[in-house]
Chains A and B, each alone.
Chain A
Amino acid sequence: MMSPRIVVTGVGVVSPLGIGIDAFAEGLYSGVTAITSSPRFLNSTTAEMGEFNPAPWLGNKGVRVLDRGTRLLTVAAQMALTATGLSQDPAGEGDAELGMVCGTMFGGVHSIASFDWTGLTEGPSYVSPLEFPNTVINAPAGQAAIKLKLRGVNSTVCGGLASGLVAINYAAEFLRFGRARWLMAGGMEEVCDEAALGFNKLGLSSPTCSVRPFSRDADGTAAGEGAALWMLETEESAEQRGAEPWLEICGFGQCNDAKTILGFDARATGAIAAIEQALEDAGTGVGEIACIIAGASGSPTGDAMEARALRHVFGDHLLKVPVSAPKAAFGEVMGASGAFCAVAAGLALQRQAAPPTAGFTSTDSGLLISSAAQAFSGEYALVNAFSCDGNNTALVIRLWKK
């Protein structure tokens, strides 16, 4: 039996680079960065949304109980629904074939810490029972399902910095099994006190407030936030309702270095294996990959590992494939970054141009990178998401072609 082809028919993006896919694309291709010295957290380099008001997309009713991350996710989901004409009637019961798979790394950690803090400082009888539900890690996806009437598969997945790609693959598998007809898949993360402090304490943030993936002078990354979701369905489902697919999910690979919970494996064996698996799964050779969206985030060890993996897999061909590291623009969005990079790859295929790597100067990595957009001609793109705990993932996508 031929496995059904999984296609992308819509997208929802909420990012400091831009809200909505058009604004996000414009921001990404203009070569600017959303990374700044944090307006909210002391001594932090971040890419933040600022005050985010979800009312234009979600109205005012029932929004107050949603924490910040949940608002980002729910708005992105509403956008994806609108883009695909699948918005549910708020008064209706909702579609049992429509669902969501959300990748996240910290989930609602700020809600969790705040709930505990209240109990600690004021006493357990002073915590709000309304806030307790936000302390489970699947709360954002569960809340989004309630708000948007998503009665189908609802899952939250965590694979560290690879969560976004893990979520996309998870959803694609579920669709192939026929467990749902429409699944929004991607990721969400928020920058909160705990994440900002964590990045600083762990020495991950750029002290110079500039994120320069693959650059010789790279000195760290920046925590980013936002939510990005693709609407996925089978080719047959899209055809039946007359929806024009945008992209196809062709292959996925996942391999674990299994060495440490914090640190990239300099030998890049897991990263190499993940890319090779994804190519094999897609049935493509390196010669067909027209563009690479790297997960590089300005972390010298992580970027070096990724460059090594790409050199190993692509060999001489690497000098013909434009590479973009869009985290230079939207930061390390943790559990959502795989999804953001996937969205960037979709845009690249659509525009036949790799997005600029903001602020890029020079590299000795042997990669074709530029601070300007790089034109190419081709159908396939590779997306990498390598997590700092050794969980390596890669995704191959293609411009839709019947």
Chain B
Amino acid sequence: MRRVVITGIGVITPIGSGKDVFWKALLAGTSGVSTITSFDSAKYAAHLGGEVRDFDAGQYVKRQNPDGMGRASQMAIGAAGLALQDSGLDLESIPRRRRGVSMGTTSGEPVFVERYNDIKLASGEDAVPAEVFACYPCHVIPTHIAIEFDLGGPSIMIPTACAAGNYAIGYGYDLIRTGRADVMLCGGADAFSRIPYQGFARLGAIAPERCQPFDKNRKGMVPGEGSGMLLLESLDAALGRGAKIYAEILGYGVSCDAHHMTAAHPQGDGAVRAMKSAIKESGLSTDDIDYISAHGTGTPTNDRIESIAVHALFGERAPLVPMSSIKSMLGHTMGAASAIEAAACALALDSGWIPPTINHDEADPDCGLDIVPNTARLTNPKVVLNNSYAFGGNNAAMCLGRYEA
């Protein structure tokens, strides 16, 4: 089995695009959450969102018409292009059938369902143009990436909702590990859409003012959008071309709560098993984990259960392991979230700094963890754990490590 490393990072996020801008904003504790402008929020019981405001699709989508695809595809191409550029890899040097793409998403391209309904309401369904149907299914996101960068190898979409980024990066890691591919662009993307927004608002899950994961007075999550993409290759290939190595992927684990579609298992059963599998597959123990990137959405229940799961697995050491949620800054970017968080993990391993959980006022005794409140910290982590949980009870956790020659 080959060792797999991250040598390129690309992000399009509510706090900025491109690895450097993003990382600087993250360490500074910048919030990308504000009153939404993607659509009129007047009729919803919520108004906050983490929107990407600086994205110009035409800047990134070159080989295809950006107007012929949804915003998730556009942002995914943007993030993939940034990751490729960051890696310094000449894709042409890799055989076409050995380069692929693995993506995750929660909603795919829901804008086409919205367009379908808008046209149906205004003029009847016969008026809906054909491209609305062609552009909707979520596999078009990796296909758009494959076309843009001429990737002739494996292509997959793993739409496992808010854990999808980890699933997708994990699958890319599998393909390189086993030698089925040499370069994989992997990550997640979701665009702001009224469908999930309406759902979260109806559940009363959206915070009224800010996202405060693990705070005693947290009031909810904040829907967001964006894309995070990583370029993965084998360690040998990276060393061979003298590439900068951000981090090594050590292993991952997935599990299913099989309990409830939207509520986590009360004892965090699936969350514990996903973390445990990831740590085991990586050949590590919980003692090796120096930092946890929390799923940490900011809803009262989710954060409490994630804390229960971390306590259950880490025991007495739990309060000693720093664990932060960057969703406090970005909002919840859905299928992109764990991919953007994986990017943050890689940057933490590379720089030694771990990002904070902002908007923290008062510790919640029900959580009882070191959530790196409000200020970034220099801790030089060697191994980090990236947690993600999703609707459908789909959980995925991944271990990443600092590469030392």
Known: A153-B256, A261-B143. A137 touches B105 (CB 8 A): yes
Give how many A-B residue pairs fall within 8 Å (CB-CB).
238
In B356-405, the 8 Å CB interface with A consists of 390-394
Any chain A CB within 8 A of the CB of B285? no
Give the residues from 379 to 402 in chain A that come closer than 8 angstroms, CB to CB, to chain B. 387, 389-391
Q: Are B159 and A115 in contact (CB under 8 A)?
A: no
Docked Cα-Cα span, A389 to B269, in Å, equals 39
Q: Which residues in window 211-253 of A have CB below 8 A to B?
A: none
Contact A145 B118 (CB under 8 A): no
Give, as a whole number of angstroms, the nearest-CB distance from A267 to chain B.
13
A106 on the interface (CB 8 Å rule)? yes
The reply to whether B261 and A139 contact each other, CB–CB distance below 8 Å, is yes
We find that the number of chain B residues with CB closer than 8 angstroms to chain A is 79
Q: Are A155 and B139 in contact (CB under 8 A)?
A: no
Interface size classification for chain A: 35 or more
The answer to whether B320 has its CB under 8 Å from any CB of chain A is no
- For A261, the chain B residues whose CB sits under 8 A away are 69, 134-135, 140, 143-144, 147
Interface contact A132-B139, CB-CB below 8 Å: no
Structural contact, B156 and A159, CB atoms closer than 8 A: yes
Once the chains bind, are B259 and A146 in contact (CB under 8 Å)? Answer: yes
Is A153 a contact partner of B254 (Cβ separation < 8 A)? yes
Q: Which of B109-130 contact A (CB under 8 A)?
A: 110, 113-114, 116-118, 120-121, 125, 128-130
Assembly CA distance A240 to B194 (angstroms) = 50
Query: At the interface, yes or no: A120 with Cβ under 8 Å from chain B?
Result: yes
Q: How far is the CA of A179 from the CA of B157 in the complex (A)?
A: 20
Within 8 Å of chain B (Cβ to Cβ): is A300?
no
A133 touches B117 (CB 8 A): no
Q: Which of B97, B254, B277 contacts A155 (CB 8 A)?
A: B254
If A116-B117, A156-B160 touch, does A125 touch B202 (CB 8 Å cutoff)?
yes
Q: Could you tell me if A256 and B146 are in contact, using CB atoms closer than 8 angstroms?
A: yes
Q: Is the CB of A106 within 8 A of B393?
A: no
Q: Which of A109, A125, A135 is in CB contact (< 8 Å) with B196? A: A135
**8 Å CB contact of B146 from A119, A193, A390:** A390
Q: Which residue of B lies closest to A148 (CB)?
A: B258
Please tell me if B338 contacts chain A, counting CB pairs below 8 Å: no
- Which residues of the other chain, A, contact B201 by a CB distance below 8 angstroms? 124
Are A256 and B153 interface neighbours, CB within 8 A?
yes
Contact A149 B44 (CB under 8 A): no
User: Across the interface, do B261 and A258 meet the contact criterion of CB distance under 8 Å?
Assistant: no
Find out whether the CB atom of B277 lies under 8 angstroms from the CB atom of A179.
yes
Per-residue contact bits, chain A 198-221, to B (CB 8 Å; 1 contact, 0 not): 100111000000000000000000
Q: B134 contacts A262, CB within 8 Å?
A: yes
Residues of B contacting A198 in the complex (Cβ-Cβ under 8 angstroms)? 130, 133-134, 136
Q: Is the CB of B202 within 8 A of A127?
A: yes
CB nearest neighbor in A for B130: A201
A288 interface residue, CB < 8 Å from B?
A: no
In contact, B159 and A137 (Cβ under 8 angstroms): yes
Tell me if A158 counts as interface (CB < 8 A to partner B): yes
State whether A254 and B155 are in contact (beta carbons under 8 Å apart), knowing that A127-B199, A137-B106, A151-B255 are contacts in the complex.
yes
Q: Report which residue of B137, B157, B174 has the largest number of chain A beta carbons within 10 angstroms of its beta carbon.
A: B137
Chain B residues with CB under 8 A of A137: 105-108, 138, 159, 161
Q: Is A255's CB under 8 angstroms from B143's CB?
A: no
Interchain CA distance A193-B392 in the complex, whole Å: 25
Query: What distance in Å separates the Cβ of A300 from its nearest Cβ neighbour in chain B?
Result: 18
Within 8 A of B (CB), among A80-133: 94, 96, 99, 105-107, 109, 112-113, 115-117, 119-121, 123-125, 127, 129, 132-133
Report which B residues bind A (CB closer than 8 A). 43-45, 69, 97, 100, 105-108, 110, 113-114, 116-118, 120-121, 125, 128-130, 132-140, 143-144, 146-147, 150-161, 167, 171, 174, 178, 194-196, 198-199, 201-203, 253-262, 269-270, 273, 277, 281, 390-394
9 smallest beta-carbon distances between A and B, as pairs:
A142-B392, A198-B133, A133-B261, A154-B256, A137-B159, A132-B199, A258-B146, A158-B157, A201-B130
Sample (19) of A-B pairs whose CB atoms are under 8 Å apart? A124-B44, A124-B201, A124-B202, A125-B45, A142-B394, A143-B261, A145-B258, A151-B258, A154-B160, A154-B255, A157-B158, A163-B139, A166-B156, A173-B174, A197-B133, A198-B133, A198-B134, A256-B100, A273-B97
